[in-house]
Amino acid sequence: MAGSLLAALVSLDGPGHYFHWHWIDISYANLTVIALMVVAFVAALFAPFPGRRSKKETK
Amino acid sequence: MSSTEIDRQWTTRLRHRVARRLPPEKMLPDTQPAYVASWIYVFGVTTLSALAVVILSGFILALKGPQWWHTSGIGHFVNSLHLWSVEIFFFAMVIHLWGKFFMAAWRGGRSLTWVTGVVTFLTSIATAFTGYVSQTNFDSQWISTQAKDGINSTGAGSFFNVLNFGQMLMWHIVLLPLAAVILTAVHVLMVRAKGVVPPFEEKVEAR
């Protein structure tokens, strides 16, 4: 049951879907992973780290 | 044997060199500098953790073999664990690379740390590629036949034949993982020896 619910979220049963723009040709799956990496990178720069005191507190 | 002779032994010289460059308090430090308390520093350790899962799940796959990972439920699970730990490995390693690039982490005599990281990244890509062509399914057949022309055009096909399953499997489970693990160990030891790169100094505006 849980497996079929997960499978329904993104159907991988078929040919892949591709993003075309000029010479760029990339699958939406790979594009999604790259977008998630950018999101994780930006979040890592700005998300507060537990236990770290801010600059205001240290002054 | 005189003390001069003992001092000239390669074992003595190596021990002194290691002790000088990597004393125990640097090898296993109690604390890290305050600037390390940021999420961007977590991705290096995430990469290491994912690599440990990749190696462990790879050991199990090697023990049981293709029939097992293609047909049994636990085999499918371990096969998926191997794949998804590789996905996390690359995901975290690329963010680690971006972070270190924008920090210019080669500063302060850390150029070899940066270079070993780059070479480890390239070795990991080759390891993943040989893994894809060793799956023993239609996907691996498709990837190997698509890759052969590109690789043969470089001349590497004379000693690295992607259509030779036995050779690709040996590269995947012996040569390349060995290289990746040794390079990773050297990379981590260099980080320990030189310390984590400090942030850029803030510019003070002239008044």
Residue B149 sits in a domain of what CATH number? 1.20.810.10
A10 close contact with B: CB closer than 8 A: no
Q: Which domain holds residue B145?
A: 104-197
Query: Which of A4-13, A45-54, B35-44, B165-174 shows the lowest mean pLDDT across its residues?
Result: A4-13
Residue B174: both structure tokens together: 């012996």
Q: ∠ at Cα B114 (B110, B115), nearest 5°?
A: 115
Q: What is the C-alpha separation between B201 and B166, in angstroms, rounded?
A: 53
Alpha carbon dihedral B85, B91, B96, B97, in 10-degree steps, equals 120
**Is B72 within the bounds of a domain?**
yes
Number of domains composing chain B: 2
Please give the pLDDT value at position B170. 96
Residues of chain B with pLDDT under 50: none
Co-location of B81 and B137 in the same domain = no
A59 close contact with B: CB closer than 8 A: no
Name the domain boundary from B58, B86, B114.
Answer: B86
A33 close contact with B: CB closer than 8 A: yes
Name the domain boundary from B59, B86, B113.
Answer: B86
Co-location of B76 and B153 in the same domain = no
User: What contacts A43, CB < 8 A, 6 or more positions away?
Assistant: B39
Question: If you search the block for the tokens 């205001």, which residue do you land on?
Answer: A56
Element (H, E) at A18: strand A18-21
Reduced to 3 states (helix: H, G, I; strand: E, B; else coil), residue B170 is helix
If you ran DSSP here, which 8-state letter would residue A59 be given? -
Please give the pLDDT value at position B205. 60
**Is B205 within the bounds of a domain?**
no
Reduced to 3 states (helix: H, G, I; strand: E, B; else coil), residue B183 is helix
Element (H, E) at B136: none
Q: What is the C-alpha separation between B179 and B55, in angstroms, rounded?
A: 13
Please give the pLDDT value at position B53. 98
**Is B114 within the bounds of a domain?**
yes
Cβ of A49 and B37 within 8 Å?
yes
> Nearest Cα to B48, choosing from B172, B186, B188?
B188
Question: If you search the block for the tokens 């078929």, which residue do you land on?
Answer: A14
Co-location of B69 and B137 in the same domain = no
B26 Cα to chain A: minimum distance (Å): 23
| Chain segment B90-136, per-residue pLDDT in tens | 999 999 999 999 999 999 999 999 999 999 999 999 999 999 999 99
A23 close contact with B: CB closer than 8 A: no
* Number of other CB atoms surrounding residue A21 within 10 Å: 7
Per-residue confidence at A3, pLDDT binned at 50, 70, 90? low
Please give the pLDDT value at position A53. 67
Co-location of B124 and B74 in the same domain = no
Please give the pLDDT value at position B182. 97
Q: What is the C-alpha separation between A46 and B133, in angstroms, rounded?
A: 39
Chain B interface, Cβ < 8 Å to A: 34, 37-40, 42-43, 87, 91, 94-95, 98-99
Cβ of A44 and B94 within 8 Å?
no
Q: Among partner residues B39, B94, B98, which is closest to A47 by beta-carbon distance?
A: B39
Chain B contacts of A49, Cβ < 8 Å?
Answer: 37-39
pLDDT > 90: percent of chain A: 51
Instruction: Please determine, for the modelled complex, whether the ipTM score is greater than 0.85.
Output: no
Please give the pLDDT value at position B184. 97
Co-location of B121 and B148 in the same domain = yes
**Is B68 within the bounds of a domain?**
yes
